[in-house]
Amino acid sequence: MEASATDAVEGFTRIFGSVASHRIVAPGRINLIGEHIDYCGGQVMPMAIDQHTTGLFRLNDKSVVRIYSDRFDDMATVIPHDVLTKKTGIWSDYAQGLLRESAHRSVAKGFDLLVRSTLGSGGLSSSSSFLAMLALANHFALSGEMIDPVDRGLRLQLALNCQRAENSFVGIPSGIMDPAAILLGGLIKLDCNTLKYTRLTPLPKAYCIIILDTGTPRTLAGSGYAKRVQEVRAIEALLGRELLGNGLANLDPQLLSKAKGKLPDLILKARLEHLVTEQQRVIQAADCLAVGNMSDLGTLMNESHYSLQSDYQVSSKELDAITTLSRRHAATAGSRMTGAGFGGCAISLCRRDQVTEHNRCVSEDYFNETGHTASLYTTDTAGPARIEAL
């Protein structure tokens, strides 16, 4: 066992007074392309990554769930079936929200969990990674089953529980992309209307994904995100059934100008432009991946960023700066913000043999331009969230 893993096992014993029986690993995710369209029926292209949340677990024969978060240096004690508990505005709301999604909880099905994360950077979905980990822990506590890596039905059901916890208890109207990406693993194209997904051809070996953490907080990530979802619902109401079909992202691009004509202001027109063009870019990106055309895939990623910057307005000064600097380097095929935006991380598609030079130049130029210290690192595709006996 590596030093930090031994350390965690000892930490568990110190905190809970018993020996951990299982380890749970839940990856984070990046989204290659298809941003802000999962909550309006779009197809998205997320990838589970090797930065992750780890949990050490043991049943505790009580009716409470005790969770110790290393990141917050804080212990939460959650009574899962206590439906009267109000949200508190801190990290443990995610746990309370998720655990109350399990209707058939009975006494003495509690567990202890020690949580650690290498997903420091905003934008890699640390919250869904945490929720997915809890969902696996809770499923094991209730059923005694360690979920099968290929049980898609159950994995999607748990992903929906994670989404519901965030929507109805935590109060963020997020889509299904993040929990589904984390519970399904790999690089996928996910249809957020039907939850059907296909596994995509991996990137050619000569290319890799770099995470570019701007080192800036995700200002407005909660409220700005909710505002965009509200705008989308307003557009849906204004367009009516005939144009709406099965979600705004799926609007026929040929009907885009007709649809815009029904919208009263420029902001809503711009939002719709993003949703419809972003969906087309996802479809083209899947074709590029299938034939290994990284140059066109990179161009689509750049266009996605510009659309999120000017039409959807969810980028930030720092995300714009770091992606521009990355694009200037010969290593980069394309660069864009990833996730909800408003700060946090971007991703670049880079030639593997030039990554060291790229990271050095971009970090230096970014510091000179913004005064912020970025952190740039390569990420790889990871498998789905899993639970294993120790």
Q: Please identify every residue annotated as catalytic.
A: 178
Which value, in Å, is the radius of gyration of the alpha carbons in the chain? Answer: 21
Residue 377 bridge partners (DSSP) = 211
Residue ranges with strand state E in 60-146: 65-69, 74-78, 111-117
**174-212 in b/e burial notation, b at 16+ Cβ within 10 A?**
bbbbbbbbbbbbbbbbbbbbeeebeebeebeeebbbbbb
- 41: contact with ligand GLA by CB under 6 A: no
Shortest spacing between CB 157 and ligand GLA, in angstroms: 17
Distance set, CA 149 to CA 44, 130, 153, 244 (Å): 21, 18, 11, 36
Cβ-based nearer residue to ligand GLA, 175 or 247: 175
**Token pair of 177 as six digits:** 């992309």
Cβ-based nearer residue to ligand GLA, 35 or 213: 35
Sheet holding 188-191, edge to edge: 43-44, 188-191, 197-199
Shortest spacing between CB 93 and ligand GLA, in angstroms: 15
- 305: contact with ligand GLA by CB under 6 A: no
- 342: contact with ligand GLA by CB under 6 A: no
- How many C-beta atoms lie closer than 10 Å to residue 3's C-beta? 7
**In 115-255, alpha helices (H):** 126-143, 152-164, 177-184, 221-244
List the one residue from 174, 315, 316, 363 that touches ligand GLA (CB under 6 A): 174
Cβ-based nearer residue to ligand GLA, 31 or 117: 31
Find the binding residues for ligand GLA in span 11-40 (CB under 6 A). 31, 35-36, 38-39
- 175: contact with ligand GLA by CB under 6 A: yes
Shortest spacing between CB 37 and ligand GLA, in angstroms: 7
- 327: contact with ligand GLA by CB under 6 A: no
- 339: contact with ligand GLA by CB under 6 A: yes
Residues of this chain that interact with ligand GLA (CB under 6 A) are 31, 35-36, 38-39, 125, 174-175, 177-178, 339-340
